[in-house]
Chain A
Amino acid sequence: MSTPLEHDYIGLSETSSVERSSEKIPSSSSPSSSSTHPNEDKTTRTSLNLKETELRLGLPDAIDGPNGKWVFPMHGKSDVELAKGAILAFPRAVLEGKNNLPSMREVGGLPQSPNPVQDKNILVPSSNEHSNPPASKAQVVGWPPIRSFRKNTMASNSEKNGEDAAGCHYVKVSMDGAPYLRKVDLKTYKTYMELSSALEKMFTCFTLGHCSSNGLAVRDGLSESRLMDLLHGSEYVLTYEDKDGDWMLVGDVPWEMFINSCKRLRIVKGSEAIGLAPRAMEKCKNQS
């Protein structure tokens, strides 16, 4: 399948990010993925973004319905394979990547909290100012011990200065029906795939057990049939609130652009998200 380069930013065929999660996954790269993505080149970023988003809108018929509107993936045969393992899906991801998308079950590990002992070279006395540290360090969760408020303040400071905000970018993730919010650091992920996989892990537990938000546990006996219903039945979709306060579908824009404008995430039932798609298209058209 000849996937245009513009579609790769979702990360479906990026082997680098998949390798990083240190699992043996069948190499699924298409030739285009091994090259540097144009959207990561900062100098041409702005000029390319719009172009990319525009091209994205003119998708093969599988996604566009007869009037060019978003059509959410139905649970036809081609999607069963994906739906089995995933509760969370991006509309594009389902249709674009069904041939080269590794089953989500195989992507293990916790990308957002790598074992720091593995990351650090324990044998060598750690870098001091005499050595040459690598340009980008593997970030350890919770180290150095700085509170989120301070980290977020620093991040917004450097944004104002136009620097590439290092550090972290914590956003809240809520899921309809879940008793509490989670927070994720968007900077620990490089692609939509990683983010989706991590969120799925975090929120799977909500379909298996119940807790009220005030700490009064209600343990449900969840039958196996009900669980299968949840997995195959309603599809959850990931949405986000951008800087303008609009709710958008995740996956529409290049990853870098997404993490720069994402303020919070929300996992909604697919049926509720249909209304978001036209807005996304409108926004892109207006920006051009």
Chain B
Amino acid sequence: MHKKMAFSFPDEVLEHVFSFIQSDKDRNAVSMVCKSWYEIERWCRRKVFVGNCYAVSPRMVIRRFPEFRSIELKGKPHFADFNLVPDGWGGYVFPWIAEMAGAYPWLEEIRLKRMVVTDESLELIAKSFKNFKVLVLSSCEGFSTDGLAAIAASCKNLKELDLRDCEVDDLSAHWLSHFPETYTSLVSLNISCLGSDEASFSALERLVRRCTNLKTLRLNRAVPLDKIANILRHAPQLVEFGTGTYTADVRPDVYSDLAGVFSSCKELKSLSGFWDVIPDYLPAIYPVCSKLTSLNLSYATIQSPDLIKLVSHCPNLQRLLVLDYIEDSGLEVLASSCKDLQELRVFPSDPFGAEPNVSLTEQGLVAVSLGCPKLQSVLYFCRRMSNEALVTIARSRPNFTRFRLCIIEPKTADYLTLEPLDVGFGAIVQYCKDLRRLSLSGLLTDRVFEYIGTYAKKLEMLSVAFAGDSDLGLHHVLSGCESLRKLEIRDCPFGDKALLANAAKLETMRSLWMSSCAVSFAACKLLGQKMPRLNVEVIDERGPPDSRPENCPVDKLYIYRSIAGPRFDMPPFVWTMDEDSGLRLS
């Protein structure tokens, strides 16, 4: 009966139907219906997403999807952002580029996150893909402006070049001049991460002038304020703009020029940049504030009154990134002015100071949770928290999908009751039924993990630091969180028992990171032996783990499912536990 149904449509019809299905999850589901759907789907999948570049080999991907145009790859684990993954761990993109260069001359889009990209890789991209259109490098490193010059010179159809949060070796600002004078297809350019060396302003201006389809332009700190007017004048069609440094001697002519140019940008919806801001120049952006939906002031070192003034002009704000200079008072104003707010990130201005330097507490977060009915995503750094506040937040804002709270001092208790914050976070997972991402902090016992395991059924990513009492905590999470894909843990007393008892769970997840915990080398070996479809990587810069007793805890552990088997590009301080010897020495 089922066979008949499948063959009742010609392939082309099914292909056409599938073309409306864009998300990978749905595509994957489609491919599992039956063999013929699998076949049809794999020939017409145009976008491939690989969440862990070591879970599968380039050849496997190419074999299965012979005609994709766009690939997204992710490399290092998330904790690499905070320097917990030693340099040289891996995440090299070159092998992928090399394989695709041969197989896919028509590849159009490459999106990479936390990968090591060399100039050689960029040059190979420039040389191999004639219709290359989109290069998005997010939190990548390993390349210089020479590689960018190669891309600029060769990719005639390039539409998007986005280097968000990358570490680039700034050898020369003149790479921009490598875009030929005939090149006009740029739609999106994000160079905000580039160093503060002298930029090639004239090349930039000429580029902006001739690319009339430019919609997104994010400049770097090196671009001074007085150059912005010239650039914007030629791009009034911009939808997203990131300034360079936003400071200059206060001069009325520069100001009015700037204000005039901003007024002519009728499409502007998103602003960012604002390094070194002086408040005097802020009102220049007032003309566009009423249309702004996204504002990134997270580098703007201005105080609460100026932030309040600015925010009050932006009633349509959906996304705000800001420093804690905004203080509780500013967040209260935000709560009353910006009823469309969906995402808020508050970063610390002085995270390493012993004393708080601003009046930003849990009250600010409470105010925004109470006042903004659409708020669903929060990243909040503060120095104190209470269970009462967390319960209020949870009750008033059950629509949270992402909740990341960082109380700066590890193991900080509820400041009112001196108790752990288990109950507060418990409320978050209990009331926010659609919570997909959660980051914990403060004083937490195994209890909070019991809550999480019981209630957080849709949770996909959990970040834990300095929390818990025993293996029971980890066990609650691994056994209870049905949707868990990524778990990252540091400095928690979790050891072998919970890990080994829930070994099978690990195959249902993308990855598990544990550093400075209590997992022994023996347990790692056992896991590696028993679970052939997991790569169990021990990362230890102290030297080979077998030079210490077996029950010694390993420094860092990274476990991920893979059908590609152990990798061969590991540095000397990474060992994969496998089924043969239990240890592969470098």
A contacts, CB < 8 Å to B: 110, 115-117, 120, 122, 125-130, 133-137, 139-150, 153-154, 157, 160, 166-168, 170, 179-183, 185, 201-202, 205, 208-209, 211, 213-217, 219
Partner of A117, one of B356, B443, B516: B516
The residue in chain B whose Cβ has the minimal distance to the Cβ of A133 is B354
A146 with B354: CB separation less than 8 A: no
Residues of A within 8 A of B568 (CB): 216-217
* Closest 6 pairs (CB-CB, A-B): A215-B92, A215-B569, A142-B82, A214-B94, A205-B572, A125-B413
Which one of A140, A145, A170 has the greatest number of beta carbons of chain B within 10 Å? A145
Which one of B116, B118, B409, B439 contacts A126 once the chains associate, using CB atoms below 8 Å? B409
Q: Render B556-576 as a binary contact track against A, CB cut-off 8 A, 1 for contact.
A: 000000000000111111000
Q: Tell me the nearest residue of chain B to A108, going by C-beta.
A: B542
Q: Determine if B84 and A214 form an interchain contact, defined as CB atoms under 8 angstroms apart.
A: no
Q: Which residue of A lies closest to B121 (CB)?
A: A214
Q: A117-B516, A219-B586 are in contact. Are A126 and B569 (CB under 8 A)?
A: no
Tell me how far the C-beta of A262 lies from the nearest C-beta in chain B, rounded to whole angstroms.
16
Whether the pair A183, B351 counts as a contact (CB closer than 8 A) is: no
Q: Known interface pairs A116-B410, A215-B94. Does A182 touch B88 (Cβ–Cβ under 8 Å)?
A: yes
A147 near B82 (CB under 8 angstroms)?
Answer: yes
B94-A128 in contact (CB<8A) = no
As a 0/1 sequence over residues 55 to 90 of chain B, the CB contacts with chain A under 8 angstroms (1 = contact) are 000000000000000000000000101111011101
Of the candidates B118, B354, B356, B410, the one whose C-beta lies within 8 Å of that of A135 is B354
Which chain B positions have C-beta within 8 A of A135?
A: 354
Q: B267 contacts the other chain (Cβ, under 8 Å)?
A: no
Residue B465, interface by CB 8 Å: yes
- Cα A153 to Cα B348 in complex, Å, equals 12
Number of chain B residues whose Cβ lies closer than 8 Å to a Cβ of chain A: 65
Evaluate contact between A209 and B586: CB separation under 8 angstroms: yes
CB <8 Å contact, B410 and A134: no
B353 located at the interface, meaning its Cβ lies under 8 Å from any Cβ of chain A in the complex: yes
The distance in angstroms between the C-alpha atoms of A216 and B465, with both chains bound, is 34
Q: Which residues of A contact B354 (CB under 8 A)?
A: 133-137
Contact residues in A for B571 (Cβ distance below 8 Å): 180, 205, 209, 211
Q: Which A residues lie within 8 Å of B573 (CB)? A: 205
Tell me, in angstroms, the Cα distance from A141 to B80 when the chains sit together: 11
Chain A positions within 8 Å of B142 at CB level: 180, 213
A208 → B minimal CB distance (Å): 6
Verify A144–B95 contact, CB threshold 8 A: no
Q: Could you say which of B84, B94, B350, B352 contacts A137, with CB atoms under 8 Å apart?
A: B352
Q: Does B471 contact A (CB under 8 A)?
A: no
Q: In the complex the two chains form, is B415's CB within 8 Å of A145's CB?
A: no
Does B358 touch A at the CB level, under 8 Å?
A: no
Partner of A182, one of B81, B87, B276: B87
- Interface contact A167-B352, CB-CB below 8 Å: yes
Whether the pair B356, A129 counts as a contact (CB closer than 8 A) is yes
Per a CB cutoff under 8 Å, which of B349, B353, B409, B569 touches A127? B409
Q: How far, in whole Å, are A192 and B14 apart by their CA atoms in the complex? A: 68
Assess the B541–A110 pair: CB atoms within 8 A: yes
Contact in complex: B586, A145 (CB < 8 Å)? no
Q: Cβ of B165 < 8 Å from any Cβ of A?
A: yes
A133 and B408 form a contact (CB under 8 A): no
Residues of B within 8 A of A140 (CB): 410, 491
B82 and A145 within 8 A (CB)? yes
Asked whether A208 lies within 8 Å of B572 as measured between CB atoms, the reply is yes
Q: Say which residue of A136, A167, A180 sits within 8 Å of B351 (CB atoms).
A: A167
- List 23 A-B residue pairs with CB atoms under 8 Å apart, sorted by A's residue number: A116-B491, A117-B491, A120-B466, A126-B409, A126-B413, A127-B409, A133-B409, A140-B410, A140-B491, A141-B82, A144-B348, A145-B81, A148-B167, A149-B167, A160-B276, A180-B87, A205-B573, A208-B572, A209-B572, A214-B94, A214-B121, A216-B95, A219-B586
| Nearest CB of chain B from residue A123's CB, rounded to whole Å | 10
Q: List residues of chain B with CB within 8 A of the CB of A219.
A: 586
A167 to B83, CA, bound (A): 14
Q: Known: A201-B541, A208-B572. Is A141-B94 also a contact (CB below 8 A)?
A: no
Q: Which residue of A lies closest to B98 (CB)?
A: A214
Q: Output the least CB separation between B176 and chain A (Å).
A: 21
Is A146 touching B418 in the complex (CB atoms < 8 A)? Answer: no
CA distance A147 to B109 in the complex (A): 26
Whether A120 lies near B79 (C-beta < 8 A) is no
Select one of B120, B347, B356, B465 contacting A143, CB under 8 A: B465
Known: A126-B409, A129-B355, A166-B350. 6 other contacts (CB 8 A): A110-B542, A125-B443, A128-B383, A145-B439, A214-B95, A214-B120
User: Contact between B355 and A213 (Cβ–Cβ < 8 Å)?
Assistant: no
